[in-house]
Amino acid sequence: MTCYTRHLEEILRKAGADNRPENRRLLDRAVREVLGQERADCPDVWKVVKPIIQGNSKRKKEFEDKVTRLLIKYLITD
């Protein structure tokens, strides 16, 4: 399991998904795709995600919106 998805539970809720391992894997997939980090190790992805989710910035909202939309797509099609 990925090391950072516990910090993104709000995105799971926005997507209407339960906090289960299979949904956290889809969340990880969506985050990595949005960031272009598909092959990166978990700590490397977290280094990119952490500064984005800290605070209430426009960048955070855009990131959460993109990941949420992609996660919903994955939930529907997978």
pLDDT, one tens digit per residue, over 11-66 is: 999 999 999 999 999 999 999 999 999 999 999 999 999 999 998 889 999 999 99
DSSP class of residue 7 equals G
CA dihedral sign of residues 71, 72, 75, 76: negative
> The tokens 């990166």 sit on which residue?
40
54: exposed, middle or buried (Cβ count in 10 Å: 0-12, 13-18, 19+): exposed
pTM, two decimal places:
0.92
State the pLDDT at residue 55: 80
State the pLDDT at residue 56: 81
